[in-house]
Structure 1
Amino acid sequence: MKLVVVGGGGLRAPLFVEAALRRAARTGLTEICLMDVDAAQLELIGALATELARRAGGAVAISTTTDAETAFADASYVVTTVRPGGIDGRIADERIALSHGVLGQETTGAAGFAMALRSIPTILSYAETLARVSPEAWLFNFTNPAGLVTQALRDAGYSRSVGICDSANGAQSAIAKWLRLPERSVRAEVFGLNHLSFTRRAEVAGRDVLPDALADDRFLAGTVQRVFAPHVVRRHGMWLNEYLYYYYYADEAVAAGAAGPTRGEEIRALNQRLLPRLRQAELLADPGQALDVYFAYERERSATYMQHTRDDAAPVAAAAAAQSHDGEGYAGVALDLIEALQGGTPIRTGLNVPNEGAIDGLRDSDVVEVSCMVDHHGIRPQPIGAMPDAQGYLVNSVKHYERLTVQAVAERSRALAVEALVAHPLVLSYSRAEPLVEKFLAAHAAHVGAWL
């Protein structure tokens, strides 16, 4: 079985490779192909992946290529994790958004919209190539904003595509660790959208244990729920996706972004320190040293995850890593899917898929983040029913924005782009939306082309 990582030169790729190698025997994995348009960085990351494969016993081949058709030949599964425009594009999005007093976060609000302008056409192009070269392959999209990109894929007819995100299963992982149980013994009920989802039940042996967990101060303090005040979590009575912080504490999030370096600027600084050290280790022909340098970087990057959310939120990264597929993150979600689709143990997991009647009040074609059953027959969203009013209002508002955004990108329509941003709860103003659209289109003209 051949697994392809598009964006394989990215600095998270070795983590994915390491996780995939651990599961190779269970999945039947024989090759991991890393594909990227950045040949120099691909060579560097490919060397790290090759060393990881050697340490794992060498049963899985590592290949690298800058050509999508070569990568997709004979592929069974493709994971897309790319950043069109690079880290500088992310920083531009953040700074443009903040200059207009709105959130600069790459998956949410105005900056998430700007990321979608670049990500959607890029992933659709890869999907077109994959459908031609290996039409039976599955495409797992992790490229941000994951829900919007997956919506565009489905609207374009790519039915063997699904959006993945490790935060969708945060409650399941956290409660399993809290009760010291295997993760799959917790049956979570997730509903909403990517980075805007809620878990309203978490059953163990038929009993909902979520109320007990949310009543425990230590549980909240030891998980990503610590980004919210305890009374906010308890008022909802649900596990809150940590990205809801940007809605429920919008003013604080904007102020924090404006006051210090943005997340993109933090990551650029980390990368500028890492890459020369990696290249030096590679030149010295010491792959072991290169891996040590890499994993030290990864620990430092993870330690700063959402650190700006609250004054006491420094341990959030450790909590998130600890509760996420034993530290495998999005790789764990993708590999769980592969195992189940390959005929392994069926799983229940949160994914981004067409609604198909699972959540009342949303269209069947709407891509939602929802609990799914997965086995060798495929992926089936589970019935959720009606959303409570408070959560449903926010989900429906943002889904309206997502529909408009996908349509705007498809038609390259400035007018629709403005309407999309006006519809977003974190913008809600023509006086902000109109200049934002113009500045985003100008900043990313090389990637988005001419718009009407």
Structure 2
Amino acid sequence: MKLTVIGGGSVRAPEFVRGALAFAADLKLDELWLMDNDSARLEAVAPLSEEIVRRAGSPFRLCQTTNLDDALRDADLIVTTIRVGTEQGRVFDERIALKRNVLGQETTGAGGFAMAMRNIPALLAIINRAQVLAPRAWIFNFTNPAGLVAQTLYDAGFRRVAGICDSANTAQYETARYLGVPVDAVKTEVYGLNHLSWTRKALVNGRDVLPELLRADGFVNSTHLRFFDPSLIERLGMFLNEYLFYFYYRDVAVQRIQGEERTRGEEVLALNHELFEQLRGLPPAEALAVYDAYNRRRSASYMAYAETDEALREQRTNPTAETEPVHRPHEEVGGYAGVALRAGLAITQDRPLRIGLNVANGTAIAGMRPDDVVEVTCEVDGTGIHPVTIGSIPEGPYLLMRTIKQYERLASQAILAHDRALAVEALVAHPLIGSYPLAEALLEDYFEAHAPYLGDWH
């Protein structure tokens, strides 16, 4: 089998390679290709991956390339994780929004749309090429904003593409961790959109254990559920995706982020710059130790501003190399690598799996259109990906889903057509924006900041 990662110069690539080692035998993995158009980053990151594979006895061949065709040709599984405009683009996205008192988070609202404008055209070119060179391959997209990206790719006619996100499966992993049972012994029911989802059940031996877990302080305080008021969790009665914080606590999120010295994008930009400076000239073994310390620091500060405990928030917003992460979404749920590799194994080797993915709704969630891409629990096997039947959902989540889906549909049309007027309509439809003058001002700022990447819009 040939597995290809597009965006292989990402700082997360070595972690993906670590994950691939655990799946190598079952996948019958012969080659793992890391492709990136940034040769400098690829040359900095690839040696870390090579060292990881070497230490594991080199069970597969690791290839690095800047040639897209070489990476795609005859691939069986393709993972796309790109960031057009690099971390600096994220910084622009956040600061432009915050300047106008709008949430600037990179996957939600204004920041997410700006990121989509840059990433989606590049992904369309990549996947069009994959259709020619690897027509049987399944493509798992982790490029953000993953939900809007998946919707646009579906609207563009691509069918062997699924959106992946580790947060869709957090409830399953957290339940398994807390109860001390294997992950696959927990059967969850997840519904929503990417970064806007709810888990309504967690079945263990056929019994729904979620209600009692949501009442257990030990469980709540050991997960990101501690970001939310206990009364809200009690009223909703579901495990909440951490990104719902931006919708349920919008004003709090904006105020706290504006109160920080650096945005998350600026923090990641600084951490990455420091990492690449430190890696320069180091032998692989030392470089890998530096990389692992970087990962600890980055994980420690994830969503730190959502913490209600001031001391804990201060600790996480000023991490050191030794800081142990309090909230570990990537490590605990296996990251995007775990989602892609588990789903890839289920499809290519017919190993039935239950997992949350971003795919077309079909008839899964009542009231959503068949071609609405949703985040939903799926049964995956050698025949493909099949959303489970969720049926009717509570009106609150349903109305929020429908509102965000309206935004995503307009945004997809706008990006595919390069239509500025539709882009304004999309941002006005988003509940975190909701104003024509504000939408127009945001777009003008984003077009100015990202002009080299956007092409001609009319």
Question: Which one-letter code corresponds to 2:204 in the other structure?
Answer: V
Q: Please give the alpha-carbon distance, in whole angstroms, between the structure 2 residues aligned to 1:387 and 1:279.
A: 52
C-alpha contact (below 8 Å) 1:341/1:377 kept by paired residues: yes
Q: Please give the alpha-carbon distance, in whole angstroms, between the structure 2 residues aligned to 1:176 and 1:327.
A: 10
C-alpha contact (below 8 Å) 1:224/1:319 kept by paired residues: no
Q: Please give the alpha-carbon distance, in whole angstroms, between the structure 2 residues aligned to 1:202 and 1:327.
A: 15
From 299, 303, 307, give the equivalent of 1:310. Answer: 307
TM-score (norm: length of structure 2)? 0.95
* Deviation digits for residues 295-320 of structure 1 (CA, Å, limit 9, x no counterpart): 00011100010001124265999454
Tell me the equivalent position of 2:320: none
Question: Which one-letter code corresponds to 2:271 in the other structure?
Answer: L
**1:280, distance to aligned residue in structure 2 (A):** 2.7
Tell me the equivalent position of 1:360: 366
The answer as to 2:119 corresponding to 1:88 is no
The answer as to 2:11 corresponding to 1:5 is no
Tell me the equivalent position of 2:348: 342
Q: Give the secondary-structure state (helix, strand or coil) at the position aligned to 2:49.
A: helix
Tell me the equivalent position of 1:445: 451
Question: Which one-letter code corresponds to 1:420 in the other structure?
Answer: A
Tell me the equivalent position of 2:319: none
From 417, 439, 450, give the equivalent of 2:423. Answer: 417
Pairwise CA RMSD: 1.4
Question: Which one-letter code corresponds to 2:379 in the other structure?
Answer: M
Tell me the equivalent position of 2:295: 298
* Identity rate, percent: 51
Tell me the equivalent position of 1:396: 402
Tell me the equivalent position of 1:333: 339
The answer as to 2:136 corresponding to 1:130 is no
Q: Give the secondary-structure state (helix, strand or coil) at the position aligned to 1:37.
A: coil
* Deviation digits for residues 149-178 of structure 1 (CA, Å, limit 9, x no counterpart): 111111111111000000001111111111
Q: Please give the alpha-carbon distance, in whole angstroms, between the structure 2 residues aligned to 1:292 and 1:80.
A: 26
C-alpha contact (below 8 Å) 2:246/2:253 kept by paired residues: yes
Tell me the equivalent position of 1:185: 185
- Within 5 Å, give how 1:227-376 maps onto structure 2: 227-260=227-260, 261-281=262-282, 286-312=283-309, 314=313, 318=325, 320-321=327-328, 326=332, 328-376=334-382
Tell me the equivalent position of 2:24: 24
Tell me the equivalent position of 2:321: none
**1:344, distance to aligned residue in structure 2 (A):** 4.7
Q: Give the secondary-structure state (helix, strand or coil) at the position aligned to 2:375.
A: strand
**1:257, distance to aligned residue in structure 2 (A):** 1.9
C-alpha contact (below 8 Å) 2:197/2:240 kept by paired residues: yes
Tell me the equivalent position of 2:51: 51
Q: Give the secondary-structure state (helix, strand or coil) at the position aligned to 1:274.
A: helix
Q: Please give the alpha-carbon distance, in whole angstroms, between the structure 2 residues aligned to 1:410 and 1:227.
A: 36
The answer as to 2:176 corresponding to 1:176 is yes
* Deviation digits for residues 204-244 of structure 1 (CA, Å, limit 9, x no counterpart): 11111110000011111001111112211111100000000
Question: Which one-letter code corresponds to 1:7 in the other structure?
Answer: G
C-alpha contact (below 8 Å) 1:78/1:138 kept by paired residues: yes
Q: Please give the alpha-carbon distance, in whole angstroms, between the structure 1 residues aligned to 2:74 and 2:44.
A: 25
Q: Please give the alpha-carbon distance, in whole angstroms, between the structure 2 residues aligned to 1:155 and 1:135.
A: 18
Q: Please give the alpha-carbon distance, in whole angstroms, between the structure 2 residues aligned to 1:197 and 1:386.
A: 14
**1:342, distance to aligned residue in structure 2 (A):** 2.1
Give 5+ residue unaligned stretches, structure 1.
Answer: none
C-alpha contact (below 8 Å) 2:300/2:326 kept by paired residues: no
Question: Which one-letter code corresponds to 2:133 in the other structure?
Answer: V
Q: Please give the alpha-carbon distance, in whole angstroms, between the structure 2 residues aligned to 1:324 and 1:299.
A: 11
Q: Please give the alpha-carbon distance, in whole angstroms, between the structure 2 residues aligned to 1:113 and 1:271.
A: 23
**1:328, distance to aligned residue in structure 2 (A):** 2.2
Q: Give the secondary-structure state (helix, strand or coil) at the position aligned to 2:70.
A: helix
Q: Give the secondary-structure state (helix, strand or coil) at the position aligned to 2:432.
A: coil
**1:44, distance to aligned residue in structure 2 (A):** 1.5
Q: Give the secondary-structure state (helix, strand or coil) at the position aligned to 1:187.
A: strand
Tell me the equivalent position of 1:226: 226
Q: Please give the alpha-carbon distance, in whole angstroms, between the structure 1 residues aligned to 2:246 and 2:285.
A: 40
- Within 5 Å, give how 1:68-147 maps onto structure 2: 68-147=68-147
Q: Give the secondary-structure state (helix, strand or coil) at the position aligned to 2:116.
A: helix
**1:444, distance to aligned residue in structure 2 (A):** 1.0
- Within 5 Å, give how 1:198-237 maps onto structure 2: 198-237=198-237
C-alpha contact (below 8 Å) 1:173/1:324 kept by paired residues: no
C-alpha contact (below 8 Å) 1:253/1:309 kept by paired residues: yes
Q: Give the secondary-structure state (helix, strand or coil) at the position aligned to 1:139.
A: strand
C-alpha contact (below 8 Å) 1:15/1:328 kept by paired residues: no
**1:67, distance to aligned residue in structure 2 (A):** 1.3
Q: Give the secondary-structure state (helix, strand or coil) at the position aligned to 1:308.
A: helix
TM-score (norm: length of structure 1)? 0.97
Runs of at least 4 residues of structure 1 off by over 3 A? Answer: 313-320, 323-327
Q: Give the secondary-structure state (helix, strand or coil) at the position aligned to 2:304.
A: coil
Q: Please give the alpha-carbon distance, in whole angstroms, between the structure 1 residues aligned to 2:441 and 2:217.
A: 44
- Within 5 Å, give how 1:54-69 maps onto structure 2: 54-69=54-69
Count of aligned residue pairs for this structure pair: 447
Q: Please give the alpha-carbon distance, in whole angstroms, between the structure 1 residues aligned to 2:228 and 2:294.
A: 28
C-alpha contact (below 8 Å) 1:422/1:429 kept by paired residues: yes
* Deviation digits for residues 384-424 of structure 1 (CA, Å, limit 9, x no counterpart): 01120011111110000000000000111111111101100
**1:326, distance to aligned residue in structure 2 (A):** 4.4
Q: Please give the alpha-carbon distance, in whole angstroms, between the structure 1 residues aligned to 2:35 and 2:43.
A: 10
Question: Which one-letter code corresponds to 2:424 in the other structure?
Answer: V
Q: Please give the alpha-carbon distance, in whole angstroms, between the structure 1 residues aligned to 2:31 and 2:224.
A: 35
C-alpha contact (below 8 Å) 1:96/1:439 kept by paired residues: yes
